[in-house]
Amino acid sequence: MQNHAACCIISVMKRHERFPKAVKIGSAIVKIYCGKAHGYDLFTVAYHENGKRQRRTFADLGDAKNAAHEIALKIAQGRANSMELTGADRDTYIAVLNLLRPHGLPLLSVVEEYVAAREHLDGDSLLSAAKEYARKHKHSDKRVRDVVDELLAAKKSDGLSIRYIQSLRSHLSRFASAFHTNIGSVTAGLIEKWLASLKVGARARNNIRMSIITLFQHARKHGYLPRDQRTEAEHVALAKQRGGEIGILKPQELAKLFANADEEATLYLALGAFTGIRSAELIRLHWSDINFERGHIIVGKEKSKTATRRLVPIQPNLAQWLAPYRGGRGRVFASGHAVDRTIAFAKQHMNWPQNALRHSYATYRLAQTHDAARVALEMGNSPTMLFTNYRELSDEHDAKAWFAIAPKRARNVVSFAAA
């Protein structure tokens, strides 16, 4: 009777116990859970050891508590022993924690990342590698809009044509409106994605791409981007052009223009038609670039679109057009307006093709020489492009007529047409 009463008291006491119970010694925690098995109380002691969860079961709560205390003590003592550092080691450990504290980084993660990084460096210093990466990826705080304004001002100061500057402003203003950031943050991928969003043809896209490259090269020149590597814009691929028909002038059409042109337009037409020099390069020419004695025009790398120096021969008929200017000084054209005025004048008399003078020179010069490499060198282009675009546009007869246009003959359109 007494035993039954005692069991009842114990059962009531267990019902008032709160589970799970936690036995804590130091940082070690062992928990006791209560359950039932076949109608009897069952106490489970749960803890972690060597990274794994362990369990031990007991029929008696007291035994479970004693076991939990012993396990917690053992775990706590093991951790304490593992932290028994020498004075120097302890100072080092504390110093490392102090270094990491401002960055909020756990020591283990830092060590793991360091070891992984060293495996990719073949023994080189991680710090040296990080400095080199930072140097190559250093972002200037110069905003895109500011670089655009600076470039446009520089081009205007150089006296480039209004038409070219307007085109540059149109392209780059749209670009600056899309990128409200520093120029060093704009990647090739972002540029390509933006170009694709414009919904323009391949040719227009490539023209805009070229303006962006000009912007990035300006930024590199002035130290806003690393000087020893290609800019992100230069990594942007050209859009594939299906190719349109090349428009050229007939010798009769050019002669008619000469017959009605003023002095500035005449000079521009002669240089463009008989050298193939780009309009932007012509505007940069000085009379000192024209070597009358040796019979060539020097397009310096600072004036060339491709940043490479080249010599363009002075054809016999061009020598006649240039003869009155022998001994000239300063710029060949006082301003970039010569391009716009000449094109406006030409459009009054005919349907003026895009890049008419340069395309015409390439066509007739290739027909005259049958030497794509030579003509490409004169024009600053690739032989493949010349051979593909201009090979079948004209013949030797037309070429002879083109390079026979001289001051006196150009004034007589009727006699020229009959020649």
Q: What is the CATH number of the domain that holds 194?
A: 1.10.150
Q: What is the pLDDT of residue 35?
A: 87
Q: In this structure, is residue 309 part of a structural domain? A: yes
C-beta neighbour count of 172 within 10 angstroms = 22
Whether the predicted pLDDT of 1 surpasses 60: no
Residues 193 and 293 in one domain: no
- Alpha carbon dihedral 274, 279, 281, 286, in 10-degree steps, equals 70
**Which secondary structure element, helix H or strand E, spans residue 313, and what is its range?**
strand 310-313
Residues 311 and 190 in one domain: no
Last residue of a domain, one of 235, 259, 293: 235
Residues 219 and 272 in one domain: no
Q: In this structure, is residue 399 part of a structural domain? A: yes
Mean pLDDT of 167-177: 94
Q: Name the percent of the chain lying above pLDDT 90.
A: 40
Whether the predicted pLDDT of 416 surpasses 70: no
* Inter-residue contact 416 to 409 (CB < 8 Å): yes
Mean pLDDT of 347-362: 89
Which residues contact residue 135 at a Cβ distance below 8 angstroms, ignoring those fewer than 6 apart? Answer: 226
Whether the predicted pLDDT of 134 surpasses 70: no
Q: In this structure, is residue 112 part of a structural domain? A: no
Mean pLDDT of 355-359: 90
Residues 330 and 299 in one domain: yes
**Residue 159 DSSP one-character state:** T
Residues 380 and 298 in one domain: yes
Residues 287 and 402 in one domain: yes
In the sheet where 52-58 sits, what is the strand order? 21-25, 28-37, 40-49, 52-58
Least confident piece of the model among 3-17, 196-210, 341-355:
3-17
Going by pLDDT thresholds of 50, 70 and 90, the confidence category of residue 86 is low
Going by pLDDT thresholds of 50, 70 and 90, the confidence category of residue 175 is very high
**Residue 143 DSSP one-character state:** B
Residues 190 and 255 in one domain: no
Last residue of a domain, one of 169, 204, 235: 235
Mean pLDDT, the chain, integer: 83
Q: 32 phi and psi, to 5 degrees?
A: -120, 125
C-beta neighbour count of 157 within 10 angstroms = 8
Mean pLDDT of 362-373: 89
Residues 228 and 307 in one domain: no
Tell me the H-state helices in 101-201.
Answer: 107-118, 126-136, 144-157, 162-178, 188-197
CATH number of the domain enclosing 354: 1.10.443.10
Query: What is the extent of the structural domain holding 9?
Result: 2-82
Residues 413 and 298 in one domain: yes
The residue among 245 and 229 whose pLDDT is bigger is 229
Whether the predicted pLDDT of 342 surpasses 50: yes
Q: What is the pLDDT of residue 215?
A: 95
What are 242-300's pLDDT values in tens digits? Answer: 555 678 899 999 999 999 999 999 999 999 999 999 988 898 899 999 999 999 999 98
C-beta neighbour count of 27 within 10 angstroms = 10
Q: In this structure, is residue 375 part of a structural domain? A: yes
Interatomic CA distance for residues 53 and 327, integer angstroms: 97
Whether the predicted pLDDT of 44 surpasses 80: yes
Q: Is 186 exposed, middle or buried (0-12, 13-18, 19+ CB in 10 A)?
A: buried
Q: In this structure, is residue 388 part of a structural domain? A: yes
Whether the predicted pLDDT of 36 surpasses 80: yes
Closest CA to 384 of 368, 367, 372: 372
Q: What is the pLDDT of residue 192?
A: 93
What are 118-130's pLDDT values in tens digits? Answer: 777 777 777 777 7
Interatomic CA distance for residues 74 and 294, integer angstroms: 99
Whether the predicted pLDDT of 317 surpasses 50: yes
Last residue of a domain, one of 182, 210, 235: 235
Q: In this structure, is residue 103 part of a structural domain? A: no
What's the number of domains the chain is made of? Answer: 3
Q: In this structure, is residue 90 part of a structural domain? A: no
**pTM of model > 0.75:** no
Mean pLDDT of 71-93: 71
Q: What is the pLDDT of residue 202?
A: 84
Distances in whole angstroms, Cα of residue 91 to Cα of each of 85, 94, 109, 129, 170: 9, 5, 20, 29, 63
* Inter-residue contact 210 to 238 (CB < 8 Å): no
Q: What is the pLDDT of residue 315?
A: 96
The residue among 23 and 87 whose pLDDT is bigger is 23
Q: In this structure, is residue 329 part of a structural domain? A: yes
Residues 255 and 195 in one domain: no
Residues 225 and 362 in one domain: no
Whether the predicted pLDDT of 406 surpasses 90: yes
- Helix, strand, coil proportions of the chain in percent (round to 5)? 60, 10, 30
Residues 212 and 324 in one domain: no
